[in-house]
Amino acid sequence: MKTNTLFLGREMDSPVGSLTLLASPNGLAGVYFEDRYEEEWVAGESAFLDQAEKELGEYFSGQREVFEVALDPVGTDFQRAVWKALENIPFGEVVSYLAIAEAIDNPKAVRAVGLANGANPISIIVPCHRVIGANGKLTGYGGGLDRKRHLLVHEKAGVLC
């Protein structure tokens, strides 16, 4: 994500490595795996950061399946539509890129959906890890396939991991 916005942020430890959490004045703007966010951010207090850290902790401890923190991702209208569709994938389930393209009423945009999925700035909470190939196998993931596999196993998703 390249923006001119300087976000409030903090780092937190997780079972999939260090996460960088970012917040705007309107909501959570990012959850990045270590070394995946290269812009500057300012350490500070934010109710959105507090809530995201709490909810992610609950998710990793098996006590949360649905996130409630307000989101404020930066992206194009198309990307935001894809990310909104990702939010509708239930915990423990997986879908194909085609299913997401169909969910946004653009079934020919499978490749564009893949690019938008890869540009998702709010990993885990906006569950881009729940999108797999049409053949039912794991496909690329910005955080790496090992992390994707870990998240899907954590959710007990019925996929060939």
Active site residue 128: yes
Q: Using CA of residue 33, residue 38, residue 39, residue 45, what is the dihedral sign?
A: positive
User: Helices marked H in 61-142 — which ranges?
Assistant: 77-86, 97-103, 110-118
Q: Supply the DSSP symbol for 83.
A: H
The burial class, CB within 10 Å (0-12 / 13-18 / 19+), for 22 is buried
Of 21, 95, 128, 159, catalytic = 128
Q: Can you tell me the distance from the alpha carbon of 70 to that of 26, in angstroms, rounded to the nearest whole number?
A: 7
Q: Which helix (H) or strand (E) holds 41?
A: strand 41-43
As annotated, the active-site residues are 128
